[in-house]
Copies of this chain bind each other. A is one copy, B any other.
Amino acid sequence: MTALDRSTGVAAAQGFRAAGVAAGIKASGNLDLALIVNDGPGTAAAGVFTTNKVKAAPVLWSQQVLTTASLRAVVLNSGGANACTGPEGFQDTHATAEKVADVLGAGAIDVAVCSTGLIGERLPMDAVKSGVDIAAKGLAPGAEASLAAATAVMTTDSHPKQTALSRDGWTIGGFAKGAGMCAPNMATMLSVVTTDAAVDAPALDAALKAAVAVTFNRLDVDGGTSTNDTVIAMASGASGVTPDPAAFAEALQAVCADLVAQLQADAEGVTKHVSITVAGAATDAEAVAAARAVARDPLCKTAFFGSDPNWGRIAMAVGNAPTDFDPQSLDITINGVTVCRAGGRGDDRSLADLTGTDITVEIDLHAGTGTGTVLTTDLSHAYVEENSAYSS
């Protein structure tokens, strides 16, 4: 596995076991509970959580337990977000962690919890608890267990998303779920990444934050940030190898980027995979803000759906971004054709062929050296259908 390998994931690294089971939380009877256990010897852990002020109970719980920078396990359920459920919802999360701790002979403080599904409904706790018992019995290392865990967290995802990468005696693997960055109803973004590299908690935390900033946080399907978004990383140290920090950071970023590519490709209603790169901004942050403004603009997104190189809409969106530039210097290149040059008409827009799945937009503001890329999708009939035709 010197290259990314999507046939395995969260239980690929030494020291980790996983399970994915049907606990009966989903009415469909599909897999709905995943358990990831770190058998050590190390227990370093780090997490990145939603910035939404409305945080689900499992987010509040996991933020709290991760102040120790140590985890033995993560339990995840689909079929319910446990968000906007008040003190009772928080007690449910606590009870879930207690149940996992009992089964593993650990403390509740060693267990993170993630949930995804409809907001505002309590979880069926009998099903959750019996699901933990079943999952604990099925814990195993390797590809089959990785796939089951990745499958159990799916909501509107059409397929499980996982990847793994090995380098110099150590491995990083993980899964992610999410069919929109924002879909508190059904498509919260959750990810667990594991490694057997011998990295301590501060190093893991720094590498995770750096990787998330340029991978998960650069995917913007529909502009929202859910109540449950969570990425958790755990390091077992079981390989006995302490990697070069830069090599570890690079590998972790590669794993996260591969998971994000899978999220983008399976976003709700997606027909186009759009990459928007802004160069020449005053700062990298302004470049990302400008790219995000295009990624979120419904007129740009419907034009992408229509395979229409409509650069005027892109100019409008960039002009509304919190980004300084001279409109007379704006260049816009779509799939290699510079359709807008120096703020005006460039090459003939009909030369830009957008009929394929991949669309690349390159914007140069000529206002500095800041750059940034945001990945997004189009706004299609299928997106509207998927998000309007269901009753909650």
Residues in A lying within 8 Å of B, measured CB to CB = 51-55, 81, 83-86, 89, 118-121, 180, 182-185, 222-227, 296-299, 302-303, 305-306, 308-313, 315-320, 325, 327-328, 330, 340, 342-345, 349, 379-381, 383-385, 387-392
Contact = CB atoms under 8 A, between A and B. Distances in A.
Given A185-B310, A224-B299, A387-B299, A54 B318 contact: yes
A184 B303 CA distance: 12
Contact of A54 (B298, B305, B330, B388): B330
Nearest to A344: B86
Contacts of A319: 52-55, 227
Query: What 10 pairs across the A-B complex have the smallest Cβ distances?
Result: A119-B312, A54-B319, A306-B388, A302-B387, A52-B319, A184-B316, A302-B388, A86-B344, A53-B319, A305-B388
B299 A340 contact: no
A49 to B, nearest CB: 13
A223 B222 CA distance: 13
Nearest to A343: B84
Contact of A182 (B303, B311, B316, B349): B316
Contacts of A344: 84-86, 89, 120
Given A313-B185, A316-B119, A381 B381 contact: yes
A83 B344 CA distance: 8
Nearest to A315: B54
Given A297-B224, A312-B120, A84 B345 contact: yes
B379 A298 contact: yes
A317 to B, nearest CB: 7
Given A53-B325, A223-B296, A320-B224, A315 B387 contact: no
Nearest to A83: B312
A390 B306 contact: yes
Contacts of A312: 81, 83-84, 118-120, 184-185, 227, 392
A331 to B, nearest CB: 12
Contact of A311 (B120, B305, B309, B316): B120
A205 to B, nearest CB: 24
Given A84-B315, A310-B392, 16 more contacts: A53-B327, A54-B318, A83-B312, A89-B344, A120-B315, A180-B299, A184-B315, A185-B310, A223-B297, A224-B298, A227-B312, A298-B387, A302-B388, A303-B387, A303-B388, A309-B392
